[in-house]
Amino acid sequence: MQIADIFRQKKTVLSLEVFPPKKTSSIDTIYTTLDDLQGLNPDFISVTYGAGGNAGDTSTCDIASVIKNKYGIEPLAHLTCVNYTKEEIDRILDLLQQKGIKNILALRGDINSDIQPKNEFCYASELITYIKERGGFHVSGACYPEGHIDSENLIADIHNLKSKVNAGAEHLISQLFFDNSYFYNFLEKAQIAGIRVPIEAGIMPVVNKAQIERMVTLCGASLPAKLTKMIQRFEYSPEALRDAGIAYAVEQIVDLISQGVDGIHLYTMNNSYIAKKIHASIAGLIQS
């Protein structure tokens, strides 16, 4: 099923995100995680793709295929472009098509100073145009409630987001944020810009101080004082920080659903315990 059709059928969509295990872990670890996540009955599961320029890595496609064929859940395969040639992207698209994957989250990928970009795709909108011209895939895009870290300001970023939608993105997933007011302001600006596709709110539970500091440095999300205090208070007590992080994410999600958000995209970080705990608190709020 195409992702946009899921939004036509449901009032509040719930999706989960997983990533292929690092090279040092066995691929089987992801299947244990998926066994657990299946029980949460998500509307779709997205699988991240490396921006490192290794076009021969088929793990995203393999995991997406298992999500579809073993678990019967719709997969959304991420695909980055900045470090790939058109020929490499064609090979990846061929493989996705062979495996019956219909939904792609088209991304630029972060610019990495250690990797020389291929310069065949500079922005996600170019990848979206390329995929749509080829045909056969439903395409989603990423959006940034606080503005993308490279963008001049939020207005310029929203103009660029509109180009992605004009190029054919039919659904957007947001970067993580910890203060819902940024998301509501962003939705208003997106409306004014004429963006009418469903926009899912990306929620990442804070369960580890180092992990969240790394994410915030990478993506520039603001940490509200309430969250900073929480991290300071519990940073040396992993279980307490985990429980507080779950409670914080649940509070964000309850508010978002109350405000009529199109969907919640949970960055699970392959941690099914946390995803299950959050799901147990919000399952009754996810309306069909």
Instruction: Report in angstroms how near the CB of residue 199 gets to ligand FAD at its nearest.
Output: 11
Q: Which CA distances in Å does 247 have to 66, 147, 160, 213, 277?
A: 31, 26, 34, 19, 9
Using CB under 6 A as the binding rule, whether residue 80 contacts ligand FAD is answered as yes
Site for ligand FAD in 43-72 (CB under 6 A): 48-49, 51
Amino acid at 287: Q
State which H helix or E strand residue 36 sits in: helix 28-38
Stretch that binds ligand FAD, among 69-77, 105-113, 186-194, 272-280 (CB under 6 A): 105-113
Q: Which of 17, 146, 170, 200 is catalytic?
A: 17
**Helix spans in 135-271 (H):** 154-167, 180-192, 209-219, 225-234, 238-258
Rg for the chain (alpha carbons), in Å? 18
Q: Report if residue 252 touches ligand FAD, rule: CB under 6 A.
A: no
Query: Under the criterion CB under 6 A, does residue 124 sit at the interface with ligand FAD?
Result: yes
Identify which range of 21-29, 101-109, 191-199, 252-260 contacts ligand FAD by CB under 6 A. Answer: 101-109
Q: Minimum CB separation from ligand FAD for residue 25, in Å? A: 18
118 sits near ligand FAD (criterion: CB under 6 A): no
Figure out which of the listed residues 123, 184, 209, 271 binds ligand FAD, where binding follows CB under 6 A. Answer: 123
Residues 142-171 that bind ligand FAD (CB under 6 A): 142, 148, 150-151, 157, 160, 163-164
- Does the footprint of ligand FAD cover residue 125 (CB under 6 A)? yes
Residues contacting 63, CB < 8 A, separation 6+: 18, 20, 30, 34, 47, 75
Backbone angles phi, psi at 178, to 5 degrees: -115, 0
Q: Is 31 in the site for ligand FAD (CB under 6 A)?
A: no
Kindly tell me which of 78 and 118 has the beta carbon lying closer to ligand FAD. 78
The torsion angles phi and psi of 173, rounded to 5 degrees, stand at -120, 135
Residue among 269, 262, 260, 266 at smallest CA distance from 280: 266
Residues 189, 147 contacting (CB under 8 angstroms): no
Instruction: Please tell me what DSSP assigns to residue 88.
Output: H
Closest CA to 62 of 95, 24, 16, 108: 95
213 in catalytic set:
no
Q: Give whichever of 144 and 234 is closer to ligand FAD, judged by the CB atom.
A: 144
Closer residue to ligand FAD (CB): 65 or 125 = 125
Interface stretch with ligand FAD, choices 30-38, 120-128, 227-235, 268-276 (CB under 6 A) = 120-128
> Which part of the chain contacts ligand FAD (CB under 6 A), choosing from 28-36, 89-97, 106-114, 247-255?
106-114
Both tokens of 176, joined, read 């993580």
φ/ψ (deg, to 5) at 169: -70, 125
Q: Judged by CB under 6 A, how many residues of this single chain contact ligand FAD? A: 23
Q: Which residues are catalytic?
A: 17
The residue ranges that bind ligand FAD (CB under 6 A) are: 48-49, 51, 78, 80, 107-110, 123-125, 142, 148, 150-151, 157, 160, 163-164, 173, 175, 202
